[in-house]
Amino acid sequence: MFLLCCQLLHLKITIGMKINNLFSWGYILLACAMLAIGRVYDERLEFFGINLALIISIVYLLFSFLLIVSIKKVIITKSKFLLYGFYLSLIVVTPLFWLFYGVIEYGMLKYLNFCFIVVIMSITILEKFDYKEVERLILTLLVVSSFLAFLAVIGTAISVNADSGRLSVLGGGPIIFSRWMGLGILVLLLLPRFKKYKMKFLAVVVFFILSIASGSRGPVLTLLLVFSIYLVLNFSKFFLKFVIIISFLIGLTAFTNIGKEIAKVGKVDRILMNFSSRGVAMKSTGTRGKLLKGALMVFQEYPLGVGAGNWQDKANELDPQYLMPLEYSHNIILEVLNEYGILIALMLVILFIYVFYSSYVLMRKYQANNTSLYPLLFYMLIFFFLNCLISGDLNDTRLLFVLISFILIQKPLINNIEKC
């Protein structure tokens, strides 16, 4: 009888573990879908009168609710205080600003998307994730990058922008597409489980070619800067390999036509246009200068903020002869400064400084452990942070805040059981 009870208990535990495992995978797939779509409702994903994005969002929110209510205890550390404090401040002040300055559809959607995707996902990750879930989510994001790369290679679902002819997959735009390629590169090179696979370098080359083919200089240049930082921090370890790789690439370009062939793909020539022409380059860099001028102008007039989505209207009111061409300032710090005020922007800057410091310390602390996820998270943090300084609005920073949540998880992201 005792033996039978033990067997039944073991069976119950086994079934429970399998159910939990399936639930975990279900949530991760839903979370990655939300990160890829970036919106709770997306009119582009409507088929036969059914909006796929809305269905995914509802199921995602249901899974998130079940996970959050299962949290038994929340320990507020210094890192959580900074992150949760930023989220709470942003959530509370936005409706107050709207009472004074009004609300537009763009601001409302940005606010809802940030709350339902970024905030809820961050809480879930911080309180419920461990090494296994973090690695699974990263692997699923790699699958998304690979899927987009596959579509680009076979030429399916690629739209051509009317003004530039640049790669744009599934409506995401060239910059977003290039960021996904950069994410794929970093995961393939730095995720511990891929350390022994040599074929990954072929995929890395494909990702990089597609990234530059998008014609988006920001993600490409920030990726090269990340590689430079990696080389500086690991100079003695990788110097010889670096010299060999650079020599090989120089020789390959000098003695073959591969460089010319790559230049024909997509809008590769646009990456170097600042060095080769003054036409489109002046238009692009001029727009950035215009956005910066508008951001500083709004800050001087409204240092406490104007509310989510109201930046463009306020900037154009202040200088109607020099109208802002876009709805956001293309810099996350300036955006928060203008729309949510100097105090919340200061909280964000402090959060960034603390997370970068913590990420570097954790990377060094566990550098002897070959399963540590911290090197990947550190360099991905740099990549997405730099991208958020040159393009995108607060909603586009969702992957950055997911990375921050990973880094701030209390339990170390190392696997002491399985070795890669």
Q: Residue 290, exposed/middle/buried by CB under 10 A (0-12, 13-18, 19+)?
A: middle
pLDDT greater than 80 at residue 65: yes
Which residue shows structure tokens 């380059």? 281
Counting residues of the chain whose pLDDT is more than 90, the rounded percentage is 35
Farthest CA pair distance, the chain: 87
CB 348 within 8 A of CB 336: yes
**Higher per-residue pLDDT: 327 or 87:** 87
pLDDT category at 8 given cuts 50, 70, 90 is very low
**Residue whose structure tokens are 């002040």:** 93
- The Cα 83–Cα 348 span in angstroms is 8
pLDDT, tens digit (0-9, with 9 covering 90-100), for 27-57: 999 999 999 888 888 777 777 778 888 899 9
* Domain ranges, ordered by start, for the chain: 1-70, 71-407
Q: What is the pLDDT of residue 58?
A: 93
For 224-251, the pLDDT digits (tens) are: 899 888 888 887 666 666 666 666 656 6
**Of the candidates 29, 27, 51, the residue with the CA atom closest to the CA atom of residue 41:** 51
Residues 147-184 have pLDDT tens digits of 888 877 776 444 444 444 455 555 457 788 888 999 99
* pLDDT 10s digits, 259-284: 554 555 545 555 555 544 444 444 55
* Rounded Cα gap, residues 134 and 195, in angstroms: 17
User: What residues contact residue 330 under an 8 Å CB cut-off, 6+ apart?
Assistant: 288, 291, 390, 391, 392, 393
Return all residues near 115 (Cβ < 8 A) that are at least 6 apart: 91
pTM of the model: 0.85
Q: Which of 11-15, 60-64, 244-248, 344-348 has the lowest mean pLDDT?
A: 11-15
> For residue 142, what are the contacts with CB-CB under 8 A and spacing of at least 6?
183, 184, 187, 188, 191
Cα separation, 125 vs 64, in Å, equals 10
Give the type of residue at 97: F
